[in-house]
């Protein structure tokens, strides 16, 4: 069973009551949120946001570095002036180290032809994964990264948060 097989049926119901086709492209709250791809996090409901109000950039861990390309586009072309970085408890990014993940990818590639294996090893060796162990420190470091990044607009308000997957509560770190 593939998850995508349910898309069309579910979408029919969604599209039937859809009434947001008029929304402009720039987010109404001039807000960009960076958060984890974790399947348990509902940004809209947990923060009381509506469709069209914010850019939500999701990636593994809610890494600001990983999100930077989207942040630049969001600020320069779509007018956002506030960034909120969310990391969360019980995050998968606290469960591995980059060397472990690289070894895993390399070991999965063992049966591939030599040229492909070399390409895979070279690529994964060149990747940064932004894993972390200390949750609060990782939020502080990401906010610091954004504040020191010369390409992030100086007037942008930048805050850092922790979302608790156990009780749905958010806490501001900085
Ligand atoms: Zn996570």
pLDDT per residue over 72-119, tens digit each? 999 999 999 999 999 999 999 999 999 999 999 999 999 999 999 999
What average pLDDT does the structure give for the chain? 98
My answer on whether 101 and 135 are in the same domain is no
pLDDT value, residue 1: 77
Arithmetic mean of pLDDT, 133-140:
98
Q: What angle do CA 24, 26, 28 make, to 5 degrees?
A: 85
Domains in the chain: how many in total? Answer: 2
Domain that holds residue 104: 97-130
Residue 112 CA to residue 116 CA, distance in Å, equals 6
Look at residue 15 and tell me if it is in a domain: no
Asked if residue 88 belongs to a known ligand binding site, the reply is: yes
pLDDT value, residue 58: 98
My answer on whether 28 and 86 are in the same domain is yes
My answer on whether 60 and 140 are in the same domain is yes
Q: Give residue 113 CA to ligand 1 midpoint distance, Å.
A: 34
Asked if residue 19 belongs to a known ligand binding site, the reply is: no
Q: Is the pLDDT of residue 131 over 80?
A: yes
């Amino acid at each position: 069973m593939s998850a995508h097989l349910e898309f069309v049926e579910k979408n029919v119901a969604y599209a039937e009551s859809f009434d947001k086709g008029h929304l402009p492209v720039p987010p109404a709250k001039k807000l960009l949120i960076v958060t984890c791809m974790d399947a348990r996090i509902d940004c809209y409901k947990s923060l009381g946001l509506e469709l069209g109000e914010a850019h939500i950039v999701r990636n593994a861990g809610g890494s600001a570095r990983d999100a930077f390309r989207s942040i630049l586009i969001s600020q320069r072309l779509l007018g956002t002036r506030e960034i909120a970085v969310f990391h969360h408890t019980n995050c998968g990014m606290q469960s591995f180290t980059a060397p472990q993940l690289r070894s895993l990818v390399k070991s999965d590639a063992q049966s591939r032809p030599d040229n492909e294996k070399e390409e895979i090893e070279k690529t994964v060796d060149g990747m940064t994964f932004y894993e972390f162990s200390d949750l609060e420190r990782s939020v502080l470091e990401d906010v610091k990264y954004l504040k020191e990044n010369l390409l992030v607009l100086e007037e942008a308000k930048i805050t850092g948060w922790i979302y608790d997957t156990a009780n749905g509560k958010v806490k501001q770190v900085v």
